[in-house]
Amino acid sequence: MAVDLPVQPFVPAPTRAPDHGGGRHERAVVFDLDGVVVDSFAVMREAFRRAYAQVVGPGEAPFAEYHRHQGRYFPDIMRLMGLPLAMEEPFTRESHRLRDGVTVFPGVTELLRTLRAAGFGLAVATGKSGPRARALLDHLGLLASFHHVVGSDEVRRPKPAPDIVRRALDLLGTEPENAIMIGDAVTDLASARGAGVRAAAALWGAADAAELLAAGPDVVLRRPADLLAVVEKTTTRIS
């Protein structure tokens, strides 16, 4: 049964990363963060366990169900799961404490470097809040690799609505037909399609690869470098 989620207030926020190299970008790639750029699974699981214990109490934290909702904004996931919104503060705090356990997926750094050198505009569109996402990328030394980082608190409607992808493209100055979004969840694919952008499934971090493939992505990527084969022959349109 569909669940209607409340529309959150829109609070404009700075989304530029340092060394953004401004201007308009004819071609662009928009990335989800967790499960695509970074491997945060273990940290996320432990932070969720601690937050659940603190707010809900004893018992096994339903992390598997939480992980199935990946790509959505944390408060929306809590509403969908019927869990207290009060879990957000300890979850965020513990995620920050444990962030040294977050790693960049092999091949991602090289992919970003290659795409930027080829003139692509690069953005992150994440279920995290913008400040959290930028702080994590900065900690990992990747913030300057992206022209913009957009969080779910910086758009009116988070994924699976198309707002966050549209916002990224607006900032990059790129038309939807010349962009592609890389995601590891069905919500990412839905957000991309709603924005008129080609949707690519990143299988290296997908919580449920079968579910992701069943959603019919336009492109299937088994490793980050696979994206280069999609874009290397591009002229004015992602091929």
Can you tell me the distance from the alpha carbon of 194 to that of 212, in angstroms, rounded to the nearest whole number?
17
Mean pLDDT of the 21-48 span: 93
> Could you tell me which of 31, 34, 35 has the C-alpha nearest to residue 206?
35
Is residue 197 within 8 A of residue 169, CB to CB? The reply is: yes
Q: Is the pTM of this model over 0.85?
A: yes
Residue 216 vs residues 90, 199, 211, 219: alpha-carbon distances, Å: 36, 9, 9, 9
Task: Looking at 98-218, list the stretches that DSSP marks H as alpha helix, in order from N- to C-terminal side.
Answer: 108-117, 130-139, 163-172, 186-194, 209-214
Can you tell me the distance from the alpha carbon of 166 to that of 173, in angstroms, rounded to the nearest whole number?
10
pLDDT confidence band for 11 (50 / 70 / 90): very low
Is residue 72 within 8 A of residue 80, CB to CB? The reply is: yes
> Could you tell me which of 24, 194, 193 has the C-alpha nearest to residue 219?
193
Which residues are 34's β-sheet partners? Answer: 38
Residue showing tokens 């990143």: 202
Q: What is the pLDDT of residues 61-110, one digit of tens each?
A: 999 999 888 889 999 999 999 999 999 999 999 999 999 999 999 999 99
Which residues are 38's β-sheet partners? Answer: 34, 104
Residues 6+ apart with CB under 8 A from 223: 107, 204
> Could you tell me which of 57, 74, 107 has the C-alpha nearest to residue 8?
74
> Could you give the angle at the alpha carbon of 76 between the alpha carbons of 8 and 128, nearest 5°?
85
Report percent pLDDT > 70 for the chain.
88
Superfamily, domain 28-39+102-231:
HAD superfamily/HAD-like (3.40.50.1000)
Question: In whole numbers, what is the pLDDT of the chain averaged over residues?
Answer: 89
Six-digit token pair at 111? 């992919």
Backbone φ, ψ for residue 29 (5° rounding): -125, 130
Per-residue pLDDT at 23: 76
